Amino acid sequence: MNKSGSTKKRLPPWMKVHMPHGVNYSRVKNLTVSKKLNTICVSGNCPNKAECWSAGTATFMILGNKCTRNCKFCQVNTMRPEPVDMDEPNRLAETIGLLGLKHCVITSVARDDLPDGGSGFWAETIRTIKRLNPDISMEALIPDFKRGTKALDLIIKEKPEVISHNLETVRRLTPKVRSVSTYDSSLELLEYTASSGIVAKSGIMAGLGETEEEVMETMDDLLTVGVKVFVIGQYLQPSEKHIQVEEYIRPEIFERFRETGLKKGFAYVESGPQVRSSYHAERHVNINTVQE
């Protein structure tokens, strides 16, 4: 991957996406609006929104849509969050039931303003969803909470099938891309998660100026701490104030990443220009069962 100049690049043909449409798309959109729920699909301007919503799936974002951090890649608003909405877990659980989901992905903004980083609310949300939807499987895509293992233990205790936490980029670029989390602190979180027996998952963005060698080193680091699922997709610049795209990675390179990741030992790799962290999340929820 070669670095480029600072001029904005034209979107290549393989990054084009279909316009949202269909009954299921409208149903997901209308339900999330009527239930006053947030989705990372909207807040993060995900390119797969049309595909996922048309299939009746979405990644729900709890604890509001205002983040206490200012990462240079993320479109989620950075400002003082509103008070925690204690009824949100119930509304979310009801919506999941109305959509008839068999698998759901939950994520959240960072809430460094809360004493526990929001981990207690996370645990209550998982409990409520599973109580009202006993057959559901779940991925918890978590921030780091800045609270060490105490906060993680609350999440692990509720036994989501997958716990995901993204490295976002390679070691060298982490200080440039992320505002608080470090590369090593994220690896420690993932190692602790993997040691619990729950499937650990992580992902990075490509096109930020990383080299292929650095991507391979990142894969090795994740495998060393026990991560089983690896996700890599193209970074897209949300606005002029965010970090620029250095390169649009070609589909055949993403395919090489996928093949290499599987050869290295990941149980599942999702790699492609439009791939995001929760893309096709239902496909790797039973990895532990399959491997056993």
Of residues 196 and 43, more confidence is placed in: 196
- Residue 13 is assigned to a structural domain of this protein: no
- Residue 5 is assigned to a structural domain of this protein: no
Number of domains in the chain: 1
Residues 283 and 56: their CA atoms lie apart, in Å, by 15
- Residue 243 is assigned to a structural domain of this protein: yes
Give me the sheet containing 103-108, strands edge to edge.
Answer: 38-39, 59-62, 103-108, 137-141, 162-164, 199-206, 229-234, 268-272
* CATH assignment at residue 42: 3.20.20.70
- Residue 119 is assigned to a structural domain of this protein: yes
Residue 4 has what pLDDT?
Answer: 44
- Residue 248 is assigned to a structural domain of this protein: yes
- Residue 2 is assigned to a structural domain of this protein: no
- Residue 229 is assigned to a structural domain of this protein: yes
The per-residue pLDDT for range 1-22, each reduced to its tens digit, is 544 444 567 788 877 665 555 5
Print the domain residue range for 138: 18-291
Give the residue-averaged pLDDT of 218-242: 93
Percent of the chain with pLDDT over 70: 78
The per-residue pLDDT for range 38-72, each reduced to its tens digit, is 765 444 445 554 555 445 456 888 998 888 888 77
Residues 283 and 71: their CA atoms lie apart, in Å, by 29
135 alpha-carbon distance from chain centroid: 22
Q: From residue 204, how far is each of 96, 120, 152 by CA, in Å?
A: 28, 27, 21
**Whose CA is closest to 238, among 110, 77, 82?**
77
- Residue 12 is assigned to a structural domain of this protein: no
> Which DSSP state fits 168?
B
DSSP string, 128-158: HHHHH-TT-EEEEE---TTSHHHHHHHHHHT
Structure tokens at 184: 């090593």
